[in-house]
Amino acid sequence: MAEISPDKRVDIRGLVCPYTFVKAKLAIESMETGQILEILLDYDEAAKSIPKSMEAHGQQVLKVAKINDTDWVLLIRKAKE
C-alpha cells in the first residue's frame, strides 16, 4: 500500500478514554469529507476502541499500527459528515 499523506494530525498521547475519542471526533468533525486524519496515541485500549467507534459513526479506518513500544498510529478517512 502506498504511503498515505494525512490532511490533519492529532497527537493524543497522554490522554485516556473517553478523551482520546472526544479529541479524535472533534478533529474529524472539523475536516471535509474525503480527507484523512492521522491520530498518534499511546493508550492501548484506544487503539481498539477508536477504530470501532469511528466505524460506528460511519468513518473509514485505513490503518491501525503500533509504531514503537508505546505509540500507535491510526489513519481515518472521513467518509461521512
Partner 1 sequence: MDFTEDQILRYSRHIILPEVGGKGQAKIAGARVVIVGAGGLGCPVGYYLTAAGVGTLALIDDDTVELSNLQRQIAHSVDTIGMPKVESAKKTFNALNPDVTIVPVKVRISKDNILDLIRDYDIVVDGSDNFPTRYLINDACVMSGKPLVSGAILRFEGQVTTLIPGSGPCYRCLFEEPPPPGLVPSCQEAGVLGVLPGVIGGLQAAEVLKLILGKGEVLKGELLIYDALRTTFRKVKVPKNPSCPVCGENPSIKELIDYNEGYCAPQ
Which residues are tagged catalytic?
17
* 29 binds partner 1, rule: CB under 8 A: yes
Number of Cβ within a 10 Å radius of residue 63: 17
User: Strand 36-41 and strand 72-77: pairing?
Assistant: antiparallel
Q: Which of 8, 13, 57, 63 binds partner 1 (CB under 8 A)?
A: 57
Shortest CB 16 distance to partner 1, Å? 12
What the block records as the C-alpha cell of 79 is: 467518509
Question: Rule CB under 8 A: which residues touch partner 1?
Answer: 18-19, 21-23, 25-26, 29-30, 56-57
